[in-house]
Structures are given as structure tokens and as C-alpha cells.
Chains A and B, each alone.
Chain A
Amino acid sequence: MISLSGVVAQFTELVLAVLLAPLLTGWVNQCRAWLQNKSAPPLLQPYRMLAKLFQKEVVLAHNASPLFRAAPYLIFGCLCTAAAIVPTLGTDLPLNAAADAIALVGLLALARLFTALAGMDVGTAFGSLGARREMLVGFLAEPALLMVLFTASLISNSTSLATIAETLAHKEFVIHPSLAFAGIAFTMVSLAENARIPVDNPATHLELTMIHEAMVLEYSGRHLAMIEWAVSLKLFVYSCIGLVLFLPFGIAGGGDWLGLVLALPALLAKLAAGGALLALIEMLSAKMRIFRAPEFLGTAFLLAVLAVLVHVLLER
């Protein structure tokens, strides 16, 4: 059942995701700076940032618990597994038998749980504020993401992400109106989940408006580096989920060595386009009040439910 090409694809994918994730973050930052007529930071800036943080000393609060010190690695590990599940190069991935789309959502939620708990651990006002807001975003975004994935699962009759990618990329081309609803819902969810502009601002320095940054205020040194890397990985994972659902072309089928090689440039091109789109959306929208966030995410959730409904109504 497990083929050599599968193992190779699985391993390459995981390493690629871990290594490429900061690059995607750098690319999005660069695009945003260009769009705002600023001089952009270099593309490799996130790597330099990580290297700098790793070198620095860790400053821990007096009452930080072991959970606080373990959390960065746990979050990183969860997101690595999540990255390994989402097909980026090929659809023949051994890990896909172990975890499907629902498990993917679960892994992302587990990472969020640890982040929120770590935010509450030191017991500062801003840490718990950030944790509360993050969970607020999470409890609406998580079911929305699940419903988006359900739409794709119903289309391809499977919750396995590899089968979803296979169906959407390699079967006869069919127009799925439900994916239009799912696409909008997914965009809204990814903006919120990756702490992007209408909901949160990744570049903010004002504690009162922070969500994600408030939670990780207490982290420093290698711990912060792991968290930052995990944040990049999360953006990468979300981008790849988006690509699988809405732009699956170029992904190699099982045992297709040439396809695997060709899939890499296709993936890079798609990611570049996706990153630019993200920067554009961020540029065009204004940060909303935190009290508007539930409404924004509630709309996303209901749109995702509508996507499933439209599938049931129109496509069978």
C-alpha cells in the first residue's frame, strides 16, 4: 500500500513546508510593502529574523510553568503534522490514511489550544486578553473551516485530503457552484486565523488591538522563534488548503515521478499568486473593531453552511 514515491513525496513535502514557510511570509510582506508604496524588506528577512531569535537568550517570567516552555515545540509539532497532511506536490501521501480533513482541523485547533493556554500561563492582563480573543476567533473559524472542507468532501465523496485533491485535479472537469460559496468563506476564515488585517494586524505594536501578538508577548529567544516559525507554517498550511480546494491543478497523482518534479514550480507559482492576493486583500481592507469580528466570522460560517447546502441542492 505504501509506495516508494509516496514516502519520498511525503518527506519532501514536510521538509519543503518547514523550509518554505518563512519565505511565503517574506513574500507576503514584500507584496504588501510594494502595494503600500513602501520600500520592501528583503525576501529572506523572516529567515534572518529566526536566526537572530535563535541566537538570543530566553527570558522567562518568574512564574512560567513547564507548559509555557513546552508549548512552542508542541505548537510547531502540531503544525508540522498538519503541513504533512495537506497535499502540495503529490496525492500519494502515506500520512493521509492516518489523518483526514477533520483531523487536520483538529490538529490546527490543538495548536490553537496550546497557544491560548501558553498566553494565559504567565498571568499578565494582555496574555489572557489575547487568549480570550484568539479563542473567540477560533470558535467561529474552526466550524467554518470544517464546513468548507465538508463541501469538498461531499463533492469527492471522501474526507481524505488526497482523494479530494485527486478528484478536483484529475477527474473530469465539473463546475461546482458550491465552491464559490466555500471560497469566500475560506478566504474570510484564513484572514482571521492567520491574524490578517480585517480581524487582526500582524504588524501592530498597540497592545489593546492585538490578538495573536498579545498572546505571545511573553515569549523571547528560541521560544519566540519557534512560535514565529509556527505562524509562518500556519499561513503556509492555510494557503495549501486553499490551493487544494480551489486551484488543485499541477498536483501529481500516485507514482508519477515526473509529475512530482513538475509539481514544485507549479506550487511555487500558485503560492506566489496566493500570497500576492492575500497582500492585496489586506491592503484593500481596514482593520475592524474586535466586536465586529464575531459578525465577520459568523458570516463566514453561514456562508460555509450555505456552500454545503448549495452542493446538496444543485450538484446531485
Chain B
Amino acid sequence: MLQHYGPQLINLLASLMLLLAFAMLAQRRIMSLINLFAAQGFTLFLSTALVAWLTDQSHLYGSALLTLVLKVIALPWILHRLIRRLNVKWDVETLINIPSTMLIGIVLVILAFNLALPIALLAGTLTKGTLGIALACVLLSFLMMITRSKAVPQVIGFLSMENGLFFAATAAAYGMPMVIEFGIALDVLVGMVILGIFFFRIRERFDSLDTRHLEKLKEH
């Protein structure tokens, strides 16, 4: 039964990833943004576990577990703590209004699918569309980082971009070697810590987390 619906389920999870990426694009509240990020991580965990089960590759269970621990529990927890410590719970205005951002997002999705199509045809994996969605997720997260001026949403965009990359790896190549995955996980964690320190420094310097203030640092 599950074997039969497996590819369809992966498609469903892939579109959930895309849906969550769009939801993050359209979200103003930082708290909801973090929750959406956690949800995206959970979807990633589900899809990785499913791919592991469908293709019988045990090392993928490991990466699924890693995803669960790191992206669903650890990073959201750190982010929540940061928000509380920095006291930046309020809404963030986007640089471009939300429907326009989403319109650009739709164009990106179309582009991503067409770019990924030739590669996906070669890959011969479970489903053809997932690589396109993964690429679309990466581009959408990028777009989110561009359209936000506050530091925390930008970091969430960065993390969600990594989600997209990871999804691309599981969907197109059945995961990467475990060593690389651990390396990336460590990188993300360390990056998070460094960015956290940056947050404090930025706020100390400018009394705000608006990264537009960083323009002042440029030499005249």
C-alpha cells in the first residue's frame, strides 16, 4: 500500500515544502516564521524518512534523525530564545509588499522547474518534480532574505535555504554521505551561533536589528 502511494506521498511532501516556503514569504510575524521553519523541517524529516524506507537505504534514517533533532527541535529553540533575549517579537514590514513578492515567487517556481527538468529526467529517481521544487524552495528562501530588512527573518531565510538544498540532496541523489551531512549540520549550528553573536553586536551598535543600518558602516 505505502509502496504504491510512496511517490505520490513524496510529491505531496514536496509541495508542502513549497507551500511552507510561500507561507514564510507571506508571513510578517517573527514567531510564526520560526514555527513555519520548524514545520518545514518536520516535512523534510518525514520525506527523508519516507525516501529511506522506500529505497531501503539505512543511512538516510540517520540523516532524517539529524534533521529532526537539528531543524525541528534545536534551531527553533535557539531562535525562540534569541527572540526572547533580544526582545524583537513585533511584526516586520517587508521591503516589497507581500502579493508582489509572491508574484515574483511564482515566476521563480516556473523558472526553477524548467531549469531542473533536464537534470530530473537524467536522475531517474522516484519522482521527477521534486528536484524542481527543491530548487524553487532554495530560490524562494533567497527571495525572502532579500525582501526582509530585519536580521532574524534573514537568518531564518538562510536556514530554510539549507532545507531546500538538503531536500534536493535526498530527492535527487538519495542523500549525501554521512560525513558530509554531519559537516553541514555542524556548519549550520556554528553559523547559527555566530549569527546570534552578530545579532547582539548589531543591536548594541544600532539599537535595532534592522540590517539597513549596516549601510552606515560603508566608507564615504
By secondary structure, the B interface counts as helix
In whole Å, how far is B47's beta carbon from the nearest beta carbon of chain A? 12
**1/0 contact trace for B118-159 toward A, CB 8 Å?**
000000000101001100000000000000000000000000
A175 and B99 CA atoms in complex are apart in Å by 28
Q: List which A161-196 residues lie within 8 A (CB) of chain B.
A: 174-175, 177-178, 180-181, 184
What band does the interface of chain B fall in when counting residues whose beta carbon is under 8 Å from A? 20 to 34
A295 near B: Cβ within 8 Å?
A: yes
Q: Tell me if A's interface is mostly helix, strand, loop or mixed.
A: helix
**Is A119's CB within 8 Å of the partner chain B?**
no
Q: Which residues on A sit within 8 Å (CB–CB) of B189?
A: none
B99 and A314: CB pair below 8 A?
no
Q: For the complex, is A310 an interface residue (Cβ under 8 Å from B)?
A: yes
Contact B15 A177 (CB under 8 A): yes
Partner pick for B26 among A177, A299, A313, CB 8 A cutoff:
A299
Known A-B contacts A299-B26, A299-B98; the reply to A310 vs B15 at CB < 8 A is yes
Is A302 on the interface with B (CB-CB < 8 A)? yes
Cα A164 to Cα B43 with chains together (Å): 29
* Known interface pairs A175-B8, A302-B106, A305-B106; A180-B19 also in contact (CB < 8 Å): yes
- Complex contact A298–B98 (CB within 8 A): yes
CB of B9 within 8 Å of the partner chain = yes
Taking a contact as CB atoms under 8 Å apart, the answer to whether B109 and A306 are in contact is yes
Look across to chain B and name the residue whose beta carbon is closest to the beta carbon of A181.
B19
Contacts of B12 in A (CB 8 A): 175, 177, 180
Within 8 Å of chain B (Cβ to Cβ): is A309?
Answer: yes
In the assembly, what is the distance between CA of A78 and CA of B190, in Å?
62
Given contacts A309-B109, A314-B129, contact A178 B102 (CB under 8 A): no
Closest Cβ of chain A to B126, distance in Å, is: 12
Which A257-316 residues have C-beta < 8 A from chain B?
294-295, 298-299, 301-303, 305-306, 309-310, 313-315
Given A302-B99, A313-B113: A184 and B19 interface contact (C-beta under 8 Å): yes
- Taking Cβ atoms with an 8 Å cutoff, the residues of B that contact A are 5, 8-9, 11-12, 14-16, 18-19, 22, 26, 97-99, 102-103, 105-106, 109-110, 113, 127, 129, 132-133
Q: List 28 A-B contacts (CB under 8 A).
A: A175-B8, A175-B12, A178-B15, A180-B12, A180-B15, A180-B16, A181-B15, A181-B19, A184-B19, A295-B98, A298-B98, A298-B99, A299-B26, A299-B98, A302-B99, A302-B102, A302-B103, A302-B105, A306-B18, A306-B22, A306-B109, A309-B106, A310-B15, A313-B109, A313-B113, A314-B11, A314-B127, A314-B129
Known: A175-B12, A314-B129. 18 other contacts (CB 8 A): A175-B5, A177-B11, A177-B16, A180-B12, A180-B16, A180-B19, A298-B98, A298-B102, A299-B26, A302-B105, A302-B106, A303-B22, A309-B109, A309-B110, A313-B113, A313-B129, A314-B15, A314-B133
Report, nearest first, the 7 A-B pairs whose CB atoms are least far apart. Answer: A177-B15, A298-B99, A175-B8, A314-B129, A302-B102, A177-B12, A175-B12
